[in-house]
Structure 1
Amino acid sequence: MSVSTTSPAGADGVRVVTVDHPPVNALPVSGWYELADAVRSAGREPGTRCVVLAAAGRGFNAGVDIKELRRDPGHDALIGANRGCAEAFSAVYACEVPVVAAVHGFCLGGGVGLVGNADAIVASEDAVFGLPELDRGALGAATHLARLVPQHLMRTLYYTSRTVTAAELLSHGSVWRVVPAPELMGAALELANEIAAKDGHLLRLAKAALNGIDPVDVRRSYRFEQGFTFEANLAGTAARVRDTFGKEA
């Protein structure tokens, strides 16, 4: 598991947090906490005025490491994943400065939780977003998908486990720009630089103000959803569904 934080040349006040966990950036429990710590640390730095959240490899994020859950005969891994995801999503939402998500490839499950809590999203043309939770014996992150698409579309996507493209999200106004894959980081840094050109103190006040007027408390809403994930596990439903997922892998 690798989470790195860099300061790109020519991007004053911008910090880039990059996740790299092959093969598909499906994060173990420790990875969610590591990501949360990196985002919080980047946002706390006095000179930071914008954080870019990015990923290396084949896709942005494939959610929770299902194999880690399968290896645990009890519920410790599930509880850890629930808490770790909540910490990472909250770190993005509560980051003291705006967060721009740079999304390529697949953005699934926990990936939607991350970008749904970001302040802005720049995506590559190959990016797809979705919550395959019902196919994986889980629930959650509808809170964040509802920040990307209208209510009825969110419900349809959730029930079917279908994905939407970056172009579709652009049409809904939740993605700022869609660009060819090689141009993704350039486009994300362009937006981040424009944000970072503002006064740092005012940006932090603006972030706190915008969070304060949110109509939905995303942290409480997500934790409410997670309670049903745990109920599904206690009932044995989650394990039965999860055991049918990815057997060919």
Structure 2
Amino acid sequence: MAVSSTVRHKGVRVVTMDYPPVNALPVAGWYAVADAVRDAGNDGETRVVVLRAEGRGFNAGVDIKEIQATEGHSALLEVNRACYAAFKAIYECAVPVISAVNGFCLGGGVGLVGSSDVIVASDDAYFGVPEVDRGALGAATHLGRLVPQHMLRALYYTSTTVSAQRLHDLGTVHAVVPSADLDDAAFAFADQIAAKDTRVIRAAKEALNGIDPIDINLSYRFEQGFTYELNLAGVADEHRDAFVQHGGTLST
């Protein structure tokens, strides 16, 4: 289980998540993503980052079993800080970040892709935020960057998912390709960015962040406050316990 970072060629850095069986990241995994992306942006030789995953799906969110196996609130506090760090690192990375999404992208996974610059997805990919079913809140900020506002509310209240093709129709997923072609498609798009003058691209990234209509870092932290309230009230523990007792199945 690890997050790896490799240089492909021409300044294309590939950050890969590999946490079997479903890429539900533990606290250390979220911090590892943050560190890898931050280091990539700080490297003057890096022109673009591709964030991808091995295994059945891109990301199943946080490792709920880790939280429930830890006494007190330390794991909950750390996972919230770690997710915030990962999302912030991607959003503020000095170079564009392309998310290559295979299979499921749930909860914190939506936080990752919603913080990135471009999304390329496999034709079997789907996205959703099942936080309501887990007694928590979060990543509505990032889901709101992928879908219109009323669609966001419908998806969020019901914990249902949306396909990559639907997001492509909405204009938020750049391309949908067969699973076997996902990496090649993401790398091909990365090569287009890497071929540009990196000084201009880095300036463009900073400028685009500067004109965003909301501060996504503050917006996400606001959401997290309600998660803490639900935990103090004991609501979140009930839902997380039920999730673990039922085998921790993915929402669809």
TM-score (norm 1): 0.98
Match of residue 6 from structure 2: 6
Match of residue 89 from structure 1: 87
Query: Which of 29, 32, 43 is 1:31 aligned to?
Result: 29
1:140 is paired with a residue whose SS is: coil
- Pairing 1:2-151 to 2, within 5 Å after superposition: 2-8=2-8, 11-151=9-149
> Contact between 2:16 and 2:54, CA under 8 Å: does it hold in 1?
yes
Task: Please list the CA deviations of residues 27-67 of structure 1 after superposition, one character each: whole Å capped at 9, or x if unmatched.
Answer: 11111101100011111111111000000011000000000
Task: Please list the CA deviations of residues 214-249 of structure 1 after superposition, one character each: whole Å capped at 9, or x if unmatched.
Answer: 001000000000000000000001011212114232
2: distance between equivalents of 1:138 and 1:20? 25
Amino acid at match of 2:159: S
Amino acid at match of 2:133: D
Amino acid at match of 1:5: S
Match of residue 208 from structure 2: 210
How many residues get paired? 247
Task: Please list the CA deviations of residues 93-116 of structure 1 after superposition, one character each: whole Å capped at 9, or x if unmatched.
Answer: 000000000000100000000000
Amino acid at match of 1:125: D
Amino acid at match of 2:115: N
> Contact between 2:140 and 2:152, CA under 8 Å: does it hold in 1?
yes
TM-score (norm 2): 0.97
TM superposition shift of 1:138: 1.1
2: distance between equivalents of 1:42 and 1:87? 15
Matched, 1:187 2:185: yes
Amino acid at match of 1:86: Y
1: distance between equivalents of 2:57 and 2:6? 20
Task: Mark the runs of 5 or more structure 2 residues left unpaired by the alignment.
Answer: 248-252
2: distance between equivalents of 1:219 and 1:248? 33
Task: Please list the CA deviations of residues 136-181 of structure 1 after superposition, one character each: whole Å capped at 9, or x if unmatched.
Answer: 1211000000000000000100000000000000011000000000
Task: Please list the CA deviations of residues 121-144 of structure 1 after superposition, one character each: whole Å capped at 9, or x if unmatched.
Answer: 000001010000011121100000
1: distance between equivalents of 2:114 and 2:87? 9
1: distance between equivalents of 2:196 and 2:75? 42
Report the RMSD for the aligned CA atoms in angstroms.
0.8
Task: Please list the CA deviations of residues 188-209 of structure 1 after superposition, one character each: whole Å capped at 9, or x if unmatched.
Answer: 0011000111101111111000
Amino acid at match of 1:97: V
> Contact between 2:65 and 2:244, CA under 8 Å: does it hold in 1?
no
Task: Please list the CA deviations of residues 11-31 of structure 1 after superposition, one character each: whole Å capped at 9, or x if unmatched.
Answer: 411100000011111011111
Amino acid at match of 2:92: A
